[in-house]
Amino acid sequence: MKQTQPHILVIFGASGDLTKRKLIPAVYNLHQKDLLGHPFAILGVSRTEMNDKEFREKMREFLPNDDSTSDFISHLHYQPIQTAEKSDYPKLSDRINQLKDKLGVPANIVFYLSTPPSLYHVIPEYLNSVGLNTEDDGFKRLIIEKPFGSNLETAKELNKDLLKYFKEHQLYRIDHYLGKETVQNLMVLRFSNSLWEPLWNHKYIDHIQITSAESLGVESRGGYYDDSGAMKDMLQNHLLQLVAMVAMEPPTIIDADAIRNEMLKVFQSLRPLKRESLNETLVRGQYTASHIKGEPAKGYREEKGVDPDSRTETFVAMKLHIDNWRWAGIPFYIRTGKKMPTRATEIVINFRPTPHHLFDTMDISLTKPNQLIIRIQPDEGLLLKMGLKEPGAGFNVQPVDLRFHYSDLSDAYVPTAYERLLLDCIQGDATLYARGDNVEQAWEFVQPILDEWAENPDFPLHGYPAGTWGPHESEKLIAKEVNGWRYPCKNLANDGKYCEL
């Protein structure tokens, strides 16, 4: 375990929901595990007028009510400024210097931008104006929440602006999916076991599926989501990052640059999409009014903040290829959607069937090829589906599951994604953060889709009833595969015996 240096965590947008519900509880848990190092301070920054005491009381609502909370709360401080006004940043600099002198620590500072993306161009420039980006007196790191641009052009523009004031090694583009324990375990599973790596290629794998399903709709985010949609909100970042981790080559060392170099090679190897044939490789959909468990469910266009004539997609399914030696000819099927039967994210490795079917039975369901299921959330774990002989005479094949669940490790503490990623940044480990060139390359891949949708209003947008697995057309996309789509349940345990939605 790396040693955590004394530091100050500065959170812009400290009066917002992300800070209250995710960031402060994550930092609290790190403090409870004695991982934050000493001394440290957390400085909340936003436009809302508050003092230290008021900020502490506001944050206390989202923390356990016990004695340890009081100790943690004492590390919280607050500085109101107009974040979009350059003239207010000397106040912030003075307050940071006061905290630094009080703690007697170097100016090791992590800036977390929990703000609207419009401020991503502004805050770094204004931090530079008061010298809060220089590393002469300690490290300076800047964490940026997605979206990293809204298309290829704006992503390049954002990277260019950020690099005017911070160096690439100071920039941490956070994708909380990469902070999930099972995602990280994917690398260990592949590269520490001689069992898997020889099979992880086009000779033994038939196809790969990645599903990220959400049971909720847009809730109160209708205004934001209507300008984004499933392509920008989920597929361009989260799902393509998972594709890269599944498909990457072994890095030479476990190092941030080495790992992100291999992920970049995957993005560069994605077969370019042709606008004229998008209908054959992509399905988009939008949920419509329905009933879920007997209760009425709104359609997307009836949600608050959504244009009644909106053509924003809430579902995307895509077939893509990676043109390199390892994955030649192997299709990757990825899909994401809102208002689906359950919440689940998983990667399914579908292996090729045996070349000669010695034990075929009348029941084709018993002779399906092997699957390795890597469950990201919920019920995190691994599941291997295989066939074994049924007890008794003959050679009747019985499907069985070999499984591992993180919940089985009763003595192990599994940190949340934000805990892991915040600690990594404080300790200077950028392995699980997106690099600028990776972000741009991912946008390069999806840009033809955005262009086609913008310029062709007749591109199909299929409706699907809320509470279902998306448009029927997504079935046609994968129809030739032996297993078709795998429909995950909330439970990974006892998979196939019962389904919890």
Catalytic residues: 238
What 3 state SS string does 156-167 have?
A: HHHHHHHHHHCC
Closest CA to 243 of 314, 326, 320: 320
Spell out the residues 6+ positions from residue 67 whose beta carbon is closer than 8 angstroms to its own. Answer: none
DSSP one-letter string for 233-293: IIIIIIIHHHHHHHHPPPPSSS-HHHHHHHHHHHHHHBPPP-GGGHHHHEEEEEEE-EEET
357 vs 371: CA distance, rounded Å: 17
Closest CA to 151 of 462, 470, 442: 442
Look up tokens 């920039």; give the residue: 171
Q: Count the Cβ atoms, other than its own, within 10 Å of residue 167.
A: 11
Number of H helices and E strands in the chain, helices first, is 16, 17
The b/e string for 440-476 (b: 16+ C-beta within 10 A; e otherwise) is bbbbbbbbbbbebbeeeeebebbebbbbbbbbebbee
Per the CB < 8 A criterion, the answer to whether 337 and 312 are in contact is no
What tokens were used for 399?
């499907």
Amino acid at 256: A
CA–chain centroid gap for 193, Å, is 25
What 3 state SS string does 87-143 have?
A: HHHHHHHHHHHHHHHHHCCCCCEEEEECCCHHHCCCHHHHHHHCCCCCCCCCCEEEE
Per the CB < 8 A criterion, the answer to whether 314 and 300 are in contact is yes
Q: What are phi and psi of 236, to 5 degrees?
A: -60, -30
- Tell me if residue 226 falls in helix, strand or coil: coil
229 vs 91: CA distance, rounded Å: 38
Q: What is the CA radius of gyration of the chain?
A: 24
